[in-house]
Amino acid sequence: MASELRDCIREWWNEDAAVYDRSPSHAVSDPLEAATWRAALARLLPPAGGKVLDVGAGTGAMSLLAAELGYRVTALDLSSAMLARAREKAEARGLDLALVEGSAEEPPAGPFDAVVERHLLWTTIDPVAVLRAWRDVTAAAGRLVLFEGSWGGGDVLDRIRRVAAEWFHKAAGHGPDHHAPYSPDVLERLPLARRSSPQSLLEAVEAAGWTRTRIERLRDVEWARMVAAGRILGALEHRPQFAVAAENPSEP
């Protein structure tokens, strides 16, 4: 059953690769937002030059920024179509990425100095098992960096904001950020898909054995997105962005 769900998710992202980079926040194509992400990576990752595994790398946004900062990056993704786009962008920028097609549950052998992800854990069937697998390929005292967001609990105000934002996008002639919504049946089987708070994410990190867990709000990323979108649309689409960092214990 898990393999069938994983295949379904893979196919969804393979189809989404054709439209994913239309969104500046997906592709991190806005120079201001890109600069805020570089700052976050430089602040939260170990010193430049280390080996970084970017899980759920997609079309390569975080992988490329980390490579620009001097890290040796392995980009892992379930979707071959997403990785193809990442390869194109790396070649265009003259950057070297190691691209690996595979599931988050089965990362390539390390050891890596850090594992990073952006908006990936909500798509996993067993987040604790995934986080434990990442710990297994991370060096002692290596780092975990999760870039995540709170997308709302689906209350009335949140739904009004979403509808209003969709109206603004249509009026401006913008295409959709994704080719289709996730199936409700799929969402029901993903433990983190409907979260509205970082609490469950923090609990999963600690249950997987990572230590010294900390969290910080990425207000500079939020600000950059609001500047790019404009005052009204930026306010409608504003969602808290945060980073969770933790460490692999030096000893078992």
User: Predicted confidence band at 252 (pLDDT cuts at 50, 70, 90)?
Assistant: low
- Please report the pLDDT score of residue 163 as a whole number: 73
Q: Looking at residue 178, what is its pLDDT?
A: 79
133 in a domain, yes or no?
Answer: yes
Given the DSSP bridges, would you call strands 138-149 and 211-217 parallel, antiparallel or unpaired? unpaired
What is d(CA 51, CA 143) in angstroms, rounded to the nearest whole number? 11
In a domain, 128, yes or no: yes
Strand pairing category for 72-77 and 211-217: unpaired
Does the residue 224 lie in any domain? yes
Total of domains in the chain: 1
50 inside domain: yes
Residue 252 lies in a domain: no
* pLDDT at 251 exceeding the cut of 70: no
pLDDT tops 80 at residue 152: no
What sign results for the dihedral spanned by CA atoms 28, 149, 110, 8? negative
Q: Which pLDDT value is given to residue 63? A: 98
Question: Is 74 contained in some domain?
Answer: yes
Neighbouring residues of 183: CB distance < 8 A, sequence distance ≥ 6: 8
The pLDDT-based confidence of 159 (bands split at 50, 70, 90) is: confident
Binned at pLDDT 50, 70 and 90, residue 1 comes out as low
Asked if the structure places residue 64 within a domain, the reply is yes
- Write down the pTM of the prediction: 0.92
Which residues constitute the domain of residue 173? 2-247
Provide φ and ψ at 109, rounded to 5°.
-60, 140
Q: Report if residue 191 sits inside a domain.
A: yes
Q: What is the mean pLDDT of residues 146-154?
A: 76
pLDDT, tens only, 200-242: 999 999 999 999 999 999 999 999 999 998 887 777 888 899 9
The stretch 15-42 carries a mean pLDDT of 95
For residue 118, give the CATH number of its domain: 3.40.50.150
